Structure 1
């Protein structure tokens, strides 16, 4: 087999987004997050500055939640523009993404307006959610059509992994492959190729699933809150389930998408259901459009959430729970048994669930050949675009393909299914499913197709697996009950992975990391700390710590803290470089381990924080000692300046909203690397570890003359704490904790400008940690957090 040829790289230095609406502005934000200079265009404003619409959209990005900007400072890099004055900006743009309203005539007019201003190599894409890409291409001059495609982001663009790439009949293969690589690596997306059919894959299947759910809600007479209890995490879908999702999306947007399906899919055998239910239209008529207007299927009444009761034409308290029988069925682990019981049950909730799955499976199978190249594309589109744990075909296959297919056929014959359309012949050809060792089934080609051979996927050592897929788990070099040291390939890079729940840190992990580094120094070139799933680490195992405290075993407790520090120092002073590969949560001890690594490679969506103050403690795995050293390096004359920001970060237990923000908070270094695609994290971390090893890595020497801010620095911090206490923003115990944090960062009760060594700082950290841990209030905070998952203010 010949290796795939490397596609011509698509180098994107500058981009333009046309349309500063909700999607356009957020796409511009994410391009800017990725370091792409971005111009955001909209119509000229009637009043004020001509680029007022774009200016307002950029300002609004800072207010949105979840935040589209990975670092608020990024907003200042987006260039506001309007079509009257700034079309010359387009001449040096490499990528144009059009994201204006879903009106074919408006889009076509805009393409005519911009065409003559674009460079001969600019790639053009439309972020339409369902209009024909081939039809849109016709508005462009002939010589530009090969550079045009659909690029459909899902909302919110920073967080939703899916981007649908929709080629026209004429799109150049090199352009598509270049775009795929850019979207995957630079923007961190999961790319699925979709055929040019209305609503493409994600919304075609996802919206149908919502329509089927709405139809059966009515059929079985269930409340909206009951349906949300049944169609959320209980079946592996997001907490927002069905009707909360509709409220978030906007009921008017929902109705628009349904209307698009009705207008463009006249021949679809399910066409009669492509209409907004009466109660959805009634809400829209009243202006209750969901979250953006404060009311939809749900609204807030004081502190309570109330839900619409169609029969009463009013809101009632939301109860949101499944019946006992259905809750018991949904708790069954074996999918085949679960589906069998759902279908056999007389409980209306069980019948509702079976009916929604049956019609979803039926619809997905019937349309597979027209809308997607393979079943894998459908499953990934729904998982990445709608946040489901398993796609429709994976769910069906896991439940027993032939058994479920037989039940669907029986229901079609009995007139119970939403459509009389027969199941395609391939469904019942004796197969056990659509995903197997040869790839995933393509109904249009009637064959199984393996994953893409595009070189960008060689960077994903553990891609998101489709049902039944197994990847090489590497070779174990050494392990104990806490960690596994293993290799993947023969590059000489060891990988340390934790074995604990949430990758928390206990004695086995502490001893394991130290011993694994001993082994690595003998046998390997470098080490990466990487977890096979999220999070990187939720910090210390509080249960074990609280047990020692409550039993009064303070010597053992202090030894555990000393061992924590010893582990961080072992990471820092290892003779082979240790690189931390962080994604998801890196809290407390997890944050401290990455701080002591030679380098951290962090996925953009990393939420990093020294959160010990929240449980009445201070960081004592070397975190404060490391921050004091960094402050001294940053400003040897006056380390206090550099400590101001990190003191607030630690005392307020701040957690970064992204890896980029972690740099702003002082928890990542400027030299640490941010990777946008979490599936590329291990690949990049291994390369970084190797490059450090190959460039003659030597660990830093133990620092012996660290200038500190001393008692003057602590007193200055205490003054600011007094203001917080007076304004009732901090309890006396909060102040006590923060004072100890300040004392440790500033080097203790010594003169400003004194020089100390690392052991001095570590001892100070330990002393304050143990003294706090002995207090009743701290022990109450730890116990409260463990039982409720929430911090206690006492």
Structure 2
């Protein structure tokens, strides 16, 4: 199949979703033009301009860096419809009004390129009915595409074909959305609210109803249905407030209007409390009040009986919390048999979810895997409903659910489908996942794009190989595994908690470099979760510090610095594959690698000041060297102070890039580094980079001398720091730490332009790092972090 080239995308509608979809396309370097109606007053692009400006202020930010908003091309239908002719993909994202959408399709149809895909971003309208307004030549290239809000952060995208959508169109769009946009794609059937919102909103309605049945307050329900239950930390009612109660009501109305024959139809009734809140204009977070309300620093919850807000913060019973920590089979048994109302509530909502997905699976999805992925990616569940059911014992749970249906305890009298009781042990097998409509197990998609995912997310029971048990193991110690998938490139995976760098990890990394140089094309440092490395393991050094004081840490610090230089000057390329957080020592490990390949949602920075220390594994040395390199590249040696100051500010303020794009702006990623939209393609790209660098004749950089800004630059920085201290913006200890950071970056007590090397600066780093260990206020910060996980401000 020829590759579908997407040179430009048009997004129609500059509302909340349209503008944020455009923003994310900019993040992943896809040119985009954002359309809306011409403004009635002022510039014709006024509506779009206001939306683009609004993107810069939204939190969490839809943009990797705010200034990239300028890359969104602005347009209106009156003046710029011909711009559609150059677009390979058109995403319509206007308000959820069938008549408005159909009218817009008629207007744009003459300008749609003969090859372009047209997709409607709708959360529940019939895609087939929408397609009927399109000319016959466009219908085969039309489908539904449902991004979840906010589009940058939510992994799920549902694709919905119509009976006339050509199969290759769906394949092309799935490939683009997966690799270029970085999303997890689930194909849904054209039924009301598709998969995730259908199951998710039905589940939220069931939770509201069961909470009323058992007399539980909103804060207790959210505590029970959040992280403790393996779901999004916002729980149920907080999630509703974040989504918007009016948005939730709209999705509910779609169920009410289109599913009158559904056996669960009575449970789709709008909860009276929701209707009342909407009537009062309390729409959730966006209006300042919903199920919750923030007053000053206090969070209040609605007491529906009183009709007023009262203090929130109540937690679930400790007994129930302990039950939720049990293995699935024991957990469900204990919840079902307990007399505790909170436990009974949890069993009820789990039973309701199992019942609902079993009854509706055939109608809404091709197979059970699609339901579980949709709920994991769209609603933040650690396990989908079918996965939990299967892991708890399929047959036993099925009998329990049937018993509750027969006893009239369930939301519907509809019986479980016959296939539930056909002797099976579950719906997910190594062969595939169960499809009631096809009466067989369907394997994962074999599209070429998925060959780029060595270890894609898998459902329980699918028999997927665990990454840390895959490949050929070459070396292993207690905190690192060195292995290979192809015999060409080594992979080093840190297995310690939070992938903290301890002496054991350092030893493993050095061994990995030695092995890579002996017979491989390179080394990739990668781990299969959302932590690259959270930094150095201070706790591991505590025994040495207690026995010998800071003097005992000096040789350990020297070993870590030497390991960083060993990685930098390795004879084969070392590639750091960053997914998630790379902080402190993790950042230093990445910046000393020959190349970095980072997932879009990577958070990189030097954060040591939070524990009262300075970066001590070459981070400040790197900043000084990069300042010299940038000054030289710009023929601006006299302006070395500017480049040094930028790096100083990042380290002294513990700035963390909140995206791979911002991390590049801060200097922790370079222009030559690669940003990968899809986290599951990270390892594939990193291995490809290592091989390409080796095959291109890779040689490590020369160990060169470079100029530093010197004592005059340090004096300039210190004067600014003194002003901040005297103005109460930083503490005396912050001033002290920042002074030491400036000392290293500027090269100590030398003249401006003096040539130094990495060894010289790293010696300064060691001296100041270990000196701070003896400082009482640094010790306070370290102990506070180890005990509470939160920084101490002193």
For 2:126, which of 107, 129, 132 is the aligned residue?
132
Q: Does the aligned pair in 2 maintain the 1:549–1:774 contact within 8 Å?
A: no
> Once the 2 structures are TM-superposed, how far is the Cα of residue 609 of structure 1 from its aligned partner?
0.5
SS in structure 2 of the partner of residue 17 of structure 1: strand
SS in structure 1 of the partner of residue 263 of structure 2: coil
**Distance in 1, Cα, partners of 2:784 & 2:542:** 11
**Distance in 1, Cα, partners of 2:765 & 2:479:** 25
> Once the 2 structures are TM-superposed, how far is the Cα of residue 702 of structure 1 from its aligned partner?
1.3
SS in structure 2 of the partner of residue 315 of structure 1: strand
> Once the 2 structures are TM-superposed, how far is the Cα of residue 547 of structure 1 from its aligned partner?
4.3
Q: Which residue pairs with 1:427 in the alignment?
A: 420
SS in structure 2 of the partner of residue 604 of structure 1: strand
Q: Does the aligned pair in 1 maintain the 2:550–2:773 contact within 8 Å?
A: no
- Higher mean alpha-carbon deviation, 288-297 vs 42-51, is at 42-51
Q: Does the aligned pair in 1 maintain the 2:551–2:770 contact within 8 Å?
A: no
SS in structure 2 of the partner of residue 778 of structure 1: helix
**Distance in 2, Cα, partners of 1:384 & 1:527:** 31
Q: Which residue pairs with 2:732 in the alignment?
A: 732
Q: Does the aligned pair in 2 maintain the 1:546–1:782 contact within 8 Å?
A: no
Q: Which residue pairs with 1:258 in the alignment?
A: 252
**Distance in 1, Cα, partners of 2:447 & 2:205:** 36
Q: Which residue pairs with 2:209 in the alignment?
A: 215
Matched, 1:450 2:447: no
> Once the 2 structures are TM-superposed, how far is the Cα of residue 39 of structure 1 from its aligned partner?
1.0
**Distance in 2, Cα, partners of 1:428 & 1:68:** 46
Q: Which residue pairs with 1:633 in the alignment?
A: 629
Matched, 1:351 2:344: yes
- Higher mean alpha-carbon deviation, 574-583 vs 724-733, is at 724-733
Q: Alpha-carbon deviations, 1:306-348, whole Å to 9, x = none? A: 111112221121133112332221121x211110111111111
Please list, as runs of the form range in 1=range in 2, the aligned pairs for 1:132-211 lying within 5 A after superposition. Answer: 132-211=126-205
SS in structure 1 of the partner of residue 201 of structure 2: helix
**Distance in 1, Cα, partners of 2:625 & 2:317:** 58
**Distance in 2, Cα, partners of 1:726 & 1:290:** 42
For 1:520, which of 487, 504, 516 is the aligned residue?
516
Please list, as runs of the form range in 1=range in 2, the aligned pairs for 1:54-69 lying within 5 A after superposition. Answer: 54-69=48-63
**Distance in 1, Cα, partners of 2:759 & 2:189:** 63
Q: Which residue pairs with 1:3 in the alignment?
A: none
Q: Which residue pairs with 1:494 in the alignment?
A: 490
Please list, as runs of the form range in 1=range in 2, the aligned pairs for 1:460-499 lying within 5 A after superposition. Answer: 460-468=453-461, 469-471=463-465, 473-490=470-487, 492-499=488-495
- Higher mean alpha-carbon deviation, 125-134 vs 311-320, is at 311-320
**Distance in 2, Cα, partners of 1:622 & 1:711:** 20
Please list, as runs of the form range in 1=range in 2, the aligned pairs for 1:201-600 lying within 5 A after superposition. Answer: 201-332=195-326, 334-468=327-461, 469-471=463-465, 473-490=470-487, 492-600=488-596
Unaligned regions of 5+ residues in structure 2, if any?
none
SS in structure 2 of the partner of residue 276 of structure 1: coil
Q: Alpha-carbon deviations, 1:676-729, whole Å to 9, x = none? A: 1010000000000001111111111211x2111101111111122122112211
TM-score computed with the length of structure 1 as normaliser? 0.98
For 1:49, which of 43, 46, 51 is the aligned residue?
43
**Distance in 1, Cα, partners of 2:372 & 2:225:** 17
Please list, as runs of the form range in 1=range in 2, the aligned pairs for 1:92-131 lying within 5 A after superposition. Answer: 92-131=86-125
**Distance in 2, Cα, partners of 1:758 & 1:345:** 64
SS in structure 2 of the partner of residue 142 of structure 1: coil
**Distance in 1, Cα, partners of 2:648 & 2:562:** 23
Q: Does the aligned pair in 1 maintain the 2:430–2:464 contact within 8 Å?
A: no
Q: Which residue pairs with 2:613 in the alignment?
A: 617
> Once the 2 structures are TM-superposed, how far is the Cα of residue 546 of structure 1 from its aligned partner?
4.2
> Once the 2 structures are TM-superposed, how far is the Cα of residue 403 of structure 1 from its aligned partner?
0.4
TM-score computed with the length of structure 2 as normaliser? 0.98
- Higher mean alpha-carbon deviation, 100-109 vs 518-527, is at 518-527
Q: Does the aligned pair in 2 maintain the 1:502–1:534 contact within 8 Å?
A: no
Matched, 1:36 2:30: yes
**Distance in 2, Cα, partners of 1:614 & 1:211:** 43
Q: Does the aligned pair in 2 maintain the 1:10–1:175 contact within 8 Å?
A: no
SS in structure 1 of the partner of residue 587 of structure 2: helix
CA 1:324–1:480: 2 relative to 1, 3 Å: closer
> Once the 2 structures are TM-superposed, how far is the Cα of residue 641 of structure 1 from its aligned partner?
2.4
**Distance in 2, Cα, partners of 1:718 & 1:553:** 29
- Higher mean alpha-carbon deviation, 653-662 vs 550-559, is at 550-559
Q: Which residue pairs with 1:79 in the alignment?
A: 73
> Once the 2 structures are TM-superposed, how far is the Cα of residue 553 of structure 1 from its aligned partner?
2.5
- Higher mean alpha-carbon deviation, 676-685 vs 81-90, is at 81-90
**Distance in 2, Cα, partners of 1:762 & 1:519:** 26
> Once the 2 structures are TM-superposed, how far is the Cα of residue 302 of structure 1 from its aligned partner?
2.5
